Structure 1
Amino acid sequence: MGDYGRTLEFGYFLVPDADDPLLELARTADRAGLDLIGVQDHPYQRRYVDTWTLLSMIAAVTERVRVFPDVANLPLRPPAVLAKAAASLDVLSGGRAELGLGAGGFWDAVHAFGGPRKSRREAADALEEAVTVIREVWSGDRNLRFDGDHYHLKGAKSGPVPAHRMELWLGVGGPRGLALAGRSADGWLPSSAWAAPDRLPEMHARIDDAAAAAGRAPADVRRLYNVNGTITDGASEGFLRGPASQWADELTDLAVGSGMDTFILWPEGDQETQIKRFAEEIAPAVRAQVAQERGQ
């Protein structure tokens, strides 16, 4: 584990609070030059608008930024329909959608919203089945059949096919989920809040071992990171809490020393200011420092 050598990307984690200027924040991220906008998916959260509706609106009012759920709530979104929704958004946006997917959590809230209550093992089983179902629905093939314990396809017809090679990123942290990411996913999507930098080596190792066992190169798996913090003009107050120069150094270390290649800003403070500083001050500095350390 170290630097997988992948091209760096930068994004914004948009919390879908109905009281916030969500579309204007998305436009700010797009105009600032960020690559991605991710939206968390908690349908049972009364303050939030629906994630898929918001992603569709973001795609409609932006020009270049790619959008994705960060991450889609599988227990409340059947994978065949989720796959069709994601492919449809990709087609309608001109190839600007990706799919982040999680096994679920907050089971009391999921159950209150009509979803199943699953054990950790059941949730992991369902996620693995969902990956297969989603790939099948994206295939463009007819007569799709899959008989799992949680999900089924019984002669289904797929379509539309995504407009580009849509990537599937898994927001997982347990051993089984990490192995699944290594075998079957295009990317791994943890958050710094629960996958702190000192945990990354062991987690990468599980992904890499599974990738190798499946005949894949570890670098085939994108490593995205939701990073929570605040950009300030004062002294450092800890990890990702300080001036732009500190952010640039810490994200560079995460790229060349800890294997991460895509950074999704989840900022505290004034969102518009944080987005602009991340895009205009930090992203270019990290790209330059990483290129220098790679000898490019």
Structure 2
Amino acid sequence: MDLIFGANVNPTHADPHESLRLAARIDQAGLDLVTIQDHPYRPAYYDTWTLLTYLAAGTSRVAFVPTVANLPLRPPAMLAKSAASLDCLTGGRLRLGLGAGAFWDDIVSMGGPRRTPAEAVDALSDAIDLIRSLWTSEHFGPRPSPRLEIWLGANGPRMLDLVGTKADGWQPSLLHLGLDRLPRASARIDTAATLAGRAPGSIRKVYNLAGIIGPPSAEPFHGSVAQWTDQIVQLAEKCGMNGFVYWPRDDHARQIDMFAAEVVPAVRALLEEE
């Protein structure tokens, strides 16, 4: 599976034009993905689904991914309709990232349910089944493109098994699933996929990398272009990661430019050599 690269756009509204400027920059830089967090209970954030639609209309080729859609606040049947609609309107430029939920007090404050960890995983599993059944139903429309995949934000054992058995992709984050845990988590997904009769190599594995490109550093993904390149190549070779999304901690526009113009070509060149 080919490597893909992207960058994150925060859904903040302090500067109403910043998100579109960054999305257009990512699009023009030739990256593959724009990701956007989904935390509708945060006053500083736009609604993610509205922002996805707005940014998709202002770009031409880059794909969009909610990282990840907040299932407790977004009923699965409506998610299926919304995702299929946006996928069709953008010519297949959507990937449906889904999450079981977190920050339960905030979710409840907006009228959502409070679920135990087990209930949250069960609800997500049921949602995947319902969304897929609607997308293929004769009584549902519009019919989405084959590119509309379901990617899960998953860290725990049951969630990782769910990725392997039912999902098209996986979206872990460095901040929540560190480098020490990533190899075992990726292997668990592969095992679950194999047991389900699926090819592990068919699952898209996208790692969200929060950091800074700059002076050399001992901290992962806080260093030079050469350090970033080596670290990404190692993750691709040792953990089977086949997608990387940059979440700059500061100086977003310049950092995204450096990632697209320097890190991504260096990674591709090094992997081609090897």
TM-score, length basis structure 1: 0.90
Asked whether the equivalents of residues 13 and 266 of structure 1 are also in contact (C-alpha less than 8 Å), the reply is yes
Pairing 1:94-173 to 2, within 5 Å after superposition: 94-139=91-136, 141-142=137-138, 157-173=139-155
Once the two structures are superposed, what CA deviation does each residue of 1:261-296 show, in whole Å capped at 9, x if it has no partner? Answer: 100101111110011000000001001111222xxx
Once the two structures are superposed, what CA deviation does each residue of 1:30-81 show, in whole Å capped at 9, x if it has no partner? Answer: 0111100010000101000010111001110101100010100000000110
**Which residue of the other structure, out of 259, 264, 270, is the alignment partner of 1:278?**
259
Once the two structures are superposed, what CA deviation does each residue of 1:159-192 show, in whole Å capped at 9, x if it has no partner? Answer: 1111333111000111111111101110111001
Q: SS of 1:18's equivalent?
A: coil
Q: SS of 1:160's equivalent?
A: coil
Q: Which residue of 1 aligns with 2:76?
A: 79
Number of equivalent positions:
272
Q: SS of 1:224's equivalent?
A: strand
Pairing 1:19-98 to 2, within 5 Å after superposition: 19-20=14-15, 21-98=18-95
Q: Which residue of 1 aligns with 2:176?
A: 194
Q: SS of 1:208's equivalent?
A: helix
Asked whether the equivalents of residues 136 and 158 of structure 1 are also in contact (C-alpha less than 8 Å), the reply is no
Q: Give distance in 1, aligned partners of 2:143 and 2:37.
A: 24
Q: Give distance in 2, aligned partners of 1:241 and 1:82.
A: 36
Shift of 1:138: 1.1
Residue identity matched to 2:265: P
Q: SS of 1:195's equivalent?
A: coil
Once the two structures are superposed, what CA deviation does each residue of 1:77-135 show, in whole Å capped at 9, x if it has no partner? Answer: 00110011011001000111110000000000000011000100100110000010110
**Which residue of the other structure, out of 226, 229, 232, is the alignment partner of 1:245?**
226
Shift of 1:209: 1.4
Shift of 1:237: 4.4
Q: SS of 2:78's equivalent?
A: helix
Question: Which sections of structure 1, spanning at least 5 residues, go unmatched?
Answer: 1-5, 143-156
Do structure 1's residue 230 and structure 2's residue 227 form an aligned pair?
A: no
Q: Give distance in 2, aligned partners of 1:248 and 1:162.
A: 35
Question: Which sections of structure 2, spanning at least 5 residues, go unmatched?
Answer: none
Once the two structures are superposed, what CA deviation does each residue of 1:210-238 show, in whole Å capped at 9, x if it has no partner? Answer: 11111111101111111110011x22241
Asked whether the equivalents of residues 197 and 258 of structure 1 are also in contact (C-alpha less than 8 Å), the reply is no
Q: Give distance in 2, aligned partners of 1:43 and 1:250.
A: 33
What root-mean-square deviation, in Å, do the aligned CA atoms of Structure 1 and Structure 2 show?
1.0
Do structure 1's residue 17 and structure 2's residue 12 form an aligned pair?
A: yes
Do structure 1's residue 213 and structure 2's residue 195 form an aligned pair?
A: yes
Shift of 1:205: 2.1
Q: Which residue of 1 aligns with 2:245?
A: 264
Q: Give distance in 2, aligned partners of 1:205 and 1:252.
A: 17
Asked whether the equivalents of residues 168 and 186 of structure 1 are also in contact (C-alpha less than 8 Å), the reply is yes
Once the two structures are superposed, what CA deviation does each residue of 1:193-213 show, in whole Å capped at 9, x if it has no partner? Answer: 111111112212221111111
Do structure 1's residue 178 and structure 2's residue 160 form an aligned pair?
A: yes
